[in-house]
A and B are shown apart, each in its own frame.
Chain A
């Protein structure tokens, strides 16, 4: 019974609105643009933050990255030709971290050297990463062929190398290359595996691996390449002694990440007079990025919400005009026996139809816009179920909120006065 009544109210409401097609459409337009912009803005916001979060997640949320940084004051001294700057993380630091913190589960030393690699006549400059077997546990990447480093490689200081997919392709190496010899600098290494690499490292923080990495045991790197790097720059030679370029620490649980990072920093500061290292915590960045994302979405949503509000006011305006225009009709209905409640429902339904249909059209627009943004601006956009449901509910809510006052006005009309109304 109630349901029949509602569907009849609905159909008569739609019929009334169809009598003034242009007016109804123009009234709806406010909500169309409002909902459209909310959906589109949420999609853009969601897309932008998703990219950033993805980037940070690749770093590993349990990881702490400690990197050697050249202290700022060394720069001027570096002009002296014979000067050798010594800075950065040491083998001792690595030992100390391993021994001092029970929360540290994995502790990976990283030594970076840039060397030219050669297979046959093909030469490519690689970033040679001297590291331990744990690297591949801390930065898990799919193994495409062969194997990764093992403890025995470290113990034996074996001249073995693992290439990345990208580096291998540059060297025209394939899976058949595994087992063959590659020259890095002046030394010969055996290729034992190829791993997949992450591409497009950009964002708040560099991911630890690069496209052109070659992984060798750190023991091998120490004995083959040593700790001193000579950089040639505009005629002057610059010697640097850096034992370890990075230490990647992985802790057991998420809630230990930030406290461990602080403790490691404090401990390292005791042994480093100058600030020649830097600690990065992906988790902290992740949290920060998520907070930024939230703020971003709220701001975007609020701006779009204002246009939705304007749409609602438009509906209220037209409904008020409609109530005045149809005063006589209201009087007739009341005289015939319509209760106040029934008049309220009649006008409320008209307002809700306007806002809901506007909401649907706006949704279509809001889904189309991010599609074009992605197409033309190559910006990622993500439409979440929430991003669809919320504006739809809000548009319906706007119909109720902004329809209620005009409907109440309609119900308050005195039938005697209304019947005299021209």
Chain B
């Protein structure tokens, strides 16, 4: 019933949190598919369940019920290690607050996924340098995150997200901490990644940022409000 080209497919996905005696459904039976190579913006007010959706898609959280198919495989029952492996190989994260490791240099931050993949030092250093020059930071490799501007930090984060060459980039309010000009640069960078064939799912609440995306998913109370496809 779902198109075979789907990278990600959620079937009757439910995520229920128990808060005291109350049960809150963050995802209330969602059916959604994200095609390979698409660029999505997920929008919705706070509490709409978009963060939960991102956590589930990013294999950081599990569904209470329903199925999650990643590249056609049901990974709902995967172990923690197996989910870690999917994150490592197939998913790159870009966060609102960049989430670089402060004590590591730019190069070491970019190398981090390669480190866990077990690449050797020289190969991963080369790869990190290539990625850094792709995002325009080849001169900042030995700097530490706190020596960079917000836009530069986000570009490091994007380079890191790309290091393992994942199929999916998950961006959670990637421009939330950036000014308009820098935001546009970052979005242009994400746009070029999409053109390069990456699947990008981005959470944002700014409609002009959402304009960069091909498709838009509006959420409310853990359900899909509407889908706009271009």
Using a CB–CB cutoff of 8 Å, the interface residues on chain A facing chain B are: 1, 4-5, 8, 15-16, 19, 328-329, 331-342, 415-416, 419
Contacts and interface: CB of A to CB of B under 8 A. Distances in A.
Contacts of A338: 84, 88, 116
Interface string B142-172: 0000000000000000001000100000000
Contacts of A332: 99-101
A4 B113 contact: no
B85 A337 contact: yes
Contacts of A1: 118
B120 interface: yes
A110 to B, nearest CB: 79
A272 B164 CA distance: 97
B160 A336 contact: yes
A328 B101 CA distance: 9
Given A4-B120, A329-B101, A335 B80 contact: no
A337 B113 contact: yes
A333 B112 contact: yes
Contact of A342 (B100, B101, B116): B116
B55 interface: yes
Contacts of B58: 335
B120 A336 contact: no
A419 B84 contact: no
Which of B81, B84, B91, B118 has the most CB atoms of chain A within a 10 A radius of its CB? B84
A415 B89 contact: no
A74 to B, nearest CB: 85
Contacts of A415: 60
Contacts of B80: 339-340
A336 B121 contact: no
A337 B99 contact: no
B68 interface: no
A415 to B, nearest CB: 5
Contacts of A19: 103
A1 B120 CA distance: 9
Nearest to B121: A8
Contact of B81 (A5, A15, A340, A419): A340
B39 interface: no
Interface in B28-43: none
Given A4-B118, A5-B118, A19-B103, 10 more contacts: A328-B99, A331-B99, A332-B99, A332-B101, A333-B101, A334-B84, A336-B113, A336-B160, A338-B116, A340-B81
Contact of B55 (A15, A340, A416): A416
A336 B61 contact: no
Interface string B187-226: 0000000000000000000000000000000000000000
A12 to B, nearest CB: 8
Interface of B: 55, 58, 60-61, 80-81, 84-89, 91, 93, 95, 99-103, 112-113, 115-116, 118, 120-121, 160, 164
Contacts of B85: 337, 339
A15 B104 CA distance: 9
B111 to A, nearest CB: 10
A55 to B, nearest CB: 59
A342 B60 CA distance: 17
A329 B99 CA distance: 8
Nearest to B87: A337
A342 B164 CA distance: 18
A12 B51 CA distance: 32
A19 B85 CA distance: 30
Most B CB within 10 A of own CB, among A335, A340, A415: A335
A409 to B, nearest CB: 16
B118 A335 contact: no
A186 to B, nearest CB: 94
A8, A341, A416: most-surrounded residue (chain B CB, <10 A): A416
9 contacts: A4-B120, A15-B103, A332-B100, A333-B116, A334-B84, A335-B99, A337-B87, A337-B113, A338-B116
Nearest to A4: B120
Contacts of B102: 329
B112 A419 contact: no
B105 to A, nearest CB: 10
A15 B144 CA distance: 14
Contact of A335 (B81, B93, B121): B93
- Which 9 interchain pairs have the tightest Cβ spacing? A337-B88, A337-B87, A339-B84, A332-B99, A339-B81, A19-B103, A415-B60, A329-B101, A416-B60
Contacts of B87: 335-337
Contacts of A329: 101-102
A415 B88 CA distance: 14
Contacts of A336: 87-88, 93, 112-113, 116, 160
